[in-house]
Structure 1
Amino acid sequence: MKKKTSVKFFSLLVASGLLLSACTNTTGGDGKKKPASNGKTEVNVASFPKTVKNDKQPIKDGSLTYALVSDTPFEGTLNYAFYDGDPDSQVLGFFDLPLFSTNADYEITNDGAATYKLSNDNKTITVKIKDNVNWSDGKPVTAQDYEYSFLVIGNKDYTGVRYGDAIIQSIVGMKEYHEGKASNISGIKIIDQKTLSITFDKANPSLLTGLWTYAMPKHYLGDIPIKDLAKSDKIHKTPIGFGPFKIKKIVPGESVEFERNDNYFAGKPKLKSIILKVVNPKVILQTMKKGEADIAEFPTDQYPAAKGSKNFQFIGEYELAYNYIGFKLGHWDAKKGINVMDNPKFQDKRLRQAMAYAVDNKSVGDKIYNGLRFPATGLIPPSFPTWYNEDEKGISFDPEKAKKLLDEAGYKDVNGDGLREDPKGKKFHVNFLSMSGGDIAEPLAKFYMQCWKNVGLDVSLVDGRLAEFNSFYKMVENDDPKVDIYLAAWATGTDVDPYGLYGRDVPFNYTHFVSDKNDQLLADGHSEKAFDHAYRKKIYDEWQSYMNDELPVIPTLFRYKISAINNRVTGLKASYGEDQYGWANVGVSNENPDVE
């Protein structure tokens, strides 16, 4: 299964669910209690093991099939500096890796492909790549390869979105390089073929959880202009990495055949090959029952039907992710590299608050996601136990409060048709962008629209239909004027610092919310003072409360992820933090998968 990396690394995820007929009068949860039974299935998320249960010895040179569960092809941008969506990240995890492993707190360790040492002032990190770490074409992974990744991301011709990361921007000389005033990054020094140092303009406590840890093969990609890299065949058709497997064949958007990398630095992988194939969510249950796939991140809506299956088992953990509803508050000014909050439609936060109070997230979690998701209370999920604010209640379901807020903001039903006009008495309509994905995506969108209709708001889908993942992402990223609000989810990465999603000068701030207070809180959260955990905790508690008041996004659900694993699979863990290099340890105990 997919492993998240130690870097601050965001993925836009699909948000979908099961039929829920209408908003009810149940109250919202506080995020600390286990989801309640809804009469359909009762799930104790703590009961899911984190490691597959199979004590048999793996056979020699086995093979397995991995199902990438998606209703859309994977885009195939197979490079960490350029990919945008979760499907591509699942492909990447088999053949390319971060230089560092991480511990249970997502902090980098010296157990991976490289070791590190921090200077006494915490401003310089010296990285040494281990001697036996080689690209899949046999060339060594070098310090120049690691430097090259920063040179790509920081270049003015770079077409991806990683430059918005605060740690990358704080490298000494990065700004001058980004502006074209320097030909290299002065803060990055090559010491020898395997060693380099990176100096930052200030100490940042997120360095050990948010450092960019991906090298790029300069010998392989360096002849391609940076502006053309993202579309090159060397990234889409013949990418290389230094992971446990290497790509043998790609059928674009549909499947990837991986073969073992016999020279993998951490030891010969147990499996000889892995076949990854895209499987539609509608048929994944039957695919697993027939043994046509060994591993799949499993749709929560199908868990009741899958519960009790004999030929496969479930492992799970809380996700480094949350679902949310985003408001389009402005636009991204690409020339200046900043977010501009200039869309007047949702500037009154009482309107945003009303739309939050109108939705019944507890019922969504219980009835749509079968108890595997539960009401979000803020923008830092409980998978960050140190930084999650247990005292923050968030926005509960309270339609009467929603109506009161709308009245106060001047949104009233002037003509008696049951729908509210804007404060000027004109028709008020909201265009809602929501993704396709399984049988339950449309009913979920309809549920939210019904919630808003119940408080007098006229909301309909953009273009009258759901958008598939790639179209959805492009509309959100490009600030399509048809989009007022959108339903999505963030995979947060393992660095708690939310700057990369909500900073003034980062492209991932898709709502384009900006304020002086937000700037200050985000800066304080990764300041040198924030090496003191108590201080940083105080700042992030305040930030979560502040964002729950401003509500540029409505946090809707925290998530529990389950994966279906055929009984013949051995050595697979669900852990985000401690098993970055885990695919080398995965095997199968039988030649053929168990079937039901």
Structure 2
Amino acid sequence: MKRSSWRILLFAIMLGFVFVLAACNSGEESKGDKGEKSEEKGEKSEESGEKIYSIEDFSVETTNEGEAIEGGHFKYGVVTDTAFEGLLNYNFYSGVPDSEIIKWFDDPLLSADETHNYTQDGAATFEVDDSGKVFTFTIRDNVNWHDGEPVTAEDWLFAYEIIADPDYTGVRYGADFTVIEGVEEYRNGEADSISGIEVVGDKTLKITYKQASPSLLSGGIWPYALPKHVFKDIPVAEMAESDAVRKNPIGFGPFKVDSITPGEAVVLTKNEDYWQGEPKLDKVTVQVVNPKTVVQALETGEVDAVDSFPTDQYPDNANMANVEFLGNTDMAYTYIGFKLGTWDKEKKEVKPDPNKKMADVNLRKAMWHAVDNNAVGEQFYNGLRWNATTLIPPSHPNFHDTENPGIAYDPEEAKKILDEAGYEDTNGDGMRENPDGEELVINFASMSGGDVAEPIANYYIQAWEKVGLNVQLVDGRLLEFNSFYDRVGQSGDDDPAIDIFQGAWSVGTDVNPAGLYGRDALFNFSRYASEENDELLADGVSEEAMELEYRQKVYKDWQQLMLEEVPVFPTVYRAILSPVNNRVMNYSIQYNWGDLHEIAVTQEETEKAE
């Protein structure tokens, strides 16, 4: 399955979409053999003289056609300015840095193709009955955990039971689970087992869903098992902090964890018993690389590749001699969110609060009008991020509403809206008071990371100041990744000091946005809920939505509702760039690519820049 991203992670939580951009799928134009320079990318902007790039100029897979050596040590960098959290299990992790480590040693049981639909090529195959509600999965006989124990249907059921357990401390529980018969009763303590999940053989699992839904075949099935023989004696509330997650994690993926330096690096060795065949590499090291030193790490050969290269650094390094830059349209977007309520831990749902500072939709719309996201994309990212219009990204063109323009940059319209809504400067200091005449200070949380994080945050603050809004950074500074998401509500506690925040979502495979904006979604950090939103989200996964045109209409209406309500607004869509050392073969950043065991190298040492 796809990595999420920083981008938070979070991905595997979300579902995703049905089609991908044809331009991103091509990669047919070879850049030549190793050492041959590709055509120069980008065109100069007439206004700034800076180069503006397009994601369509990049391949999604390496073009190196050299001869692979036997074995080799591949070094992979996860670009982040913070330590990885160390929740090294798909059932417990929450951030992309951890998922970028897990993918090397654990696999999903189901595979998906480039259009995000499940295939029969994974570690498990499946059949669907005529009702579309009953799925029968069969795990392949040669799929074994790293300790030699077979991966069983009991292990898969166990993962569902743990996530649905009331003592579960992770973030997975949500719409993908409540659609299964009996899960909510199990969660509420009304049943001792999940009635809709049945083990019918050592390797066969049957799941009955409440209704047929298009989501099920495009990411709506939790595909990760949990080794019951390892976790069965650990209390559910203690699992996330156990050695089985943090110190000695196992999976059934192509590599096995050999050693962990907490927060910094994980060393893995090949799993000779891997179900898809023995990996070509002998060893993989996954390590944290700070965005400020990622160029040096690549040039010196400290790493062979990184999960994502800061796009703001690309123009100065586009001609790095020892790497090939791969690119794809990221299944993600950046956004500004408004705090409209809190999270009810007992009911596990959003609790809207009409008294919140940002409760007035006119204030929210004005703040969107006030910012020029086209300029942000060009000035800070040289075109590798671009103005976002709706909350379904263009990486999913079958559902992204290309005809919806979003809310345009228009500071004069922002001022007009604020005036009419009663936000006026009553004391002559240049800043608007609220309609009650009280001082209005809007507290803004934004993450650190990369050279442009602070300038972009400052840009937004200055843009809002130009329309008379006093916006200040929470604590007077940017927040590091883990602290940011804890404070905006990932822990279930919403910091009352935060009024608005800048975040990023890495979406997954099914278009269903309920995992981010549903009433019962922990990741609904704006804490927005409405009856119309509930109805549209439910309609989008209904049996009627099995018809493509019907589902398209539902999500077109949902995108428009989000423009009218503005619980959040998207700022930029994103390109993802991944530089890969010239010695590396068989590497891809295509959606759902799962052939890590095929990666090979053409020489022992990582090639260095001249």
TM-score, scaled relative to structure 1 = 0.94
Given that 2:44 and 2:51 are in contact with CA atoms closer than 8 Å, whether structure 1 keeps it comes out as: no
Is residue 582 from structure 1 mapped to residue 591 from structure 2 by the alignment? no
Is residue 80 from structure 1 mapped to residue 90 from structure 2 by the alignment? yes
Counterpart selection for 1:334 from 339, 345, 365: 345
Any idea what SS the aligned residue of 1:316 has? strand
Distance 1:114 1:459 in 2: 51
Structure 2 partner of 1:286? 296
Any idea what SS the aligned residue of 1:9 has? helix
Given that 2:4 and 2:507 are in contact with CA atoms closer than 8 Å, whether structure 1 keeps it comes out as: no
Given that 2:3 and 2:11 are in contact with CA atoms closer than 8 Å, whether structure 1 keeps it comes out as: no
- Structure 1 alignment gaps of length 5 or more: 12-33
Shift in alpha-carbon separation, 1:85–1:107, aligned structure 2, 3 A:
same
Counterpart selection for 1:310 from 321, 324, 343: 321
Is residue 545 from structure 1 mapped to residue 560 from structure 2 by the alignment? yes
Any idea what SS the aligned residue of 2:282 has? strand
Is residue 154 from structure 1 mapped to residue 164 from structure 2 by the alignment? yes
Structure 1 segment 357-372 matched on structure 2, within 5 A = 357-372=369-384
Distance 1:564 1:199 in 2: 43
CA drift of 1:436 comes to 0.8
Farther-moved stretch of structure 1 (76-85 vs 189-198): 76-85
Structure 1 segment 286-435 matched on structure 2, within 5 A = 286-296=296-306, 297-342=308-353, 343-435=355-447
Counterpart selection for 1:43 from 41, 53, 63: 53
Match for 1:218: what amino acid?
K
Given that 1:4 and 1:576 are in contact with CA atoms closer than 8 Å, whether structure 2 keeps it comes out as: no
Any idea what SS the aligned residue of 2:143 has? coil
Distance 1:130 1:420 in 2: 64
Counterpart selection for 1:139 from 139, 142, 149: 149
Any idea what SS the aligned residue of 1:214 has? coil
Distance 2:210 2:288 in 1: 44
Distance 1:492 1:45 in 2: 19
Given that 1:36 and 1:366 are in contact with CA atoms closer than 8 Å, whether structure 2 keeps it comes out as: no
Distance 1:379 1:44 in 2: 21
Structure 1 segment 10-409 matched on structure 2, within 5 A = 10=13, 37=45, 38-164=48-174, 166-209=175-218, 210-296=220-306, 297-342=308-353, 343-409=355-421
Given that 1:244 and 1:269 are in contact with CA atoms closer than 8 Å, whether structure 2 keeps it comes out as: yes
Match for 1:445: what amino acid?
A
Match for 2:476: what amino acid?
G
Q: Deviations over 1:19-45 (max 9, x none)?
A: xxxxxxxxxxxxxxx998342222121
Q: Deviations over 1:21-80 (max 9, x none)?
A: xxxxxxxxxxxxx99834222212101001111101221011111111111000001111
Shift in alpha-carbon separation, 1:244–1:496, aligned structure 2, 3 A:
same
Is residue 594 from structure 1 mapped to residue 607 from structure 2 by the alignment? yes
Match for 1:592: what amino acid?
E
CA drift of 1:10 comes to 3.9
Distance 2:147 2:397 in 1: 41
Structure 1 partner of 2:36? none
CA drift of 1:4 comes to 5.3
CA drift of 1:100 comes to 1.0
Which structure is higher in RCO with an 8 Å CA cutoff and minimum separation 6?
Answer: 1
Structure 2 partner of 1:31? none
Any idea what SS the aligned residue of 1:271 has? coil
Query: Equivalent pairs: percent with the same residue?
Result: 49
Q: Deviations over 1:63-113 (max 9, x none)?
A: 111111111000001111211111111111111111011111111111010
Structure 2 partner of 1:500? 515
CA drift of 1:180 comes to 0.6
Match for 2:289: what amino acid?
V
Match for 1:173: what amino acid?
G
Structure 1 partner of 2:588? 573
For these two proteins, the number of residue pairs brought into alignment is: 570
Shift in alpha-carbon separation, 1:317–1:292, aligned structure 2, 3 A:
same
CA drift of 1:3 comes to 4.0
Match for 1:330: what amino acid?
G
Distance 1:129 1:2 in 2: 21
Structure 1 segment 556-567 matched on structure 2, within 5 A = 556-567=571-582
CA drift of 1:207 comes to 0.3
Shift in alpha-carbon separation, 1:439–1:44, aligned structure 2, 3 A:
closer
Any idea what SS the aligned residue of 2:12 has? coil
Structure 2 partner of 1:510? 525
Distance 1:586 1:544 in 2: 40
Distance 1:513 1:502 in 2: 7
Distance 2:44 2:239 in 1: 49
Distance 2:2 2:531 in 1: 37
Structure 2 partner of 1:17? none
Structure 1 partner of 2:470? 458
CA drift of 1:439 comes to 2.2
Is residue 485 from structure 1 mapped to residue 500 from structure 2 by the alignment? yes
Q: Deviations over 1:279-328 (max 9, x none)?
A: 11111111111111100121111101111111111001011111001111
Distance 2:94 2:44 in 1: 35
The ranges of structure 1 where at least 4 consecutive aligned residues each deviate by more than 2 angstroms after the TM superposition are 1-5, 7-11, 34-39
Shift in alpha-carbon separation, 1:10–1:445, aligned structure 2, 3 A:
farther
Q: Deviations over 1:165-211 (max 9, x none)?
A: x2310111111101011111011111100001000111111001221
Structure 2 partner of 1:14? none
Shift in alpha-carbon separation, 1:356–1:180, aligned structure 2, 3 A:
same
Given that 2:68 and 2:600 are in contact with CA atoms closer than 8 Å, whether structure 1 keeps it comes out as: yes
Any idea what SS the aligned residue of 2:206 has? strand
Given that 1:361 and 1:557 are in contact with CA atoms closer than 8 Å, whether structure 2 keeps it comes out as: yes
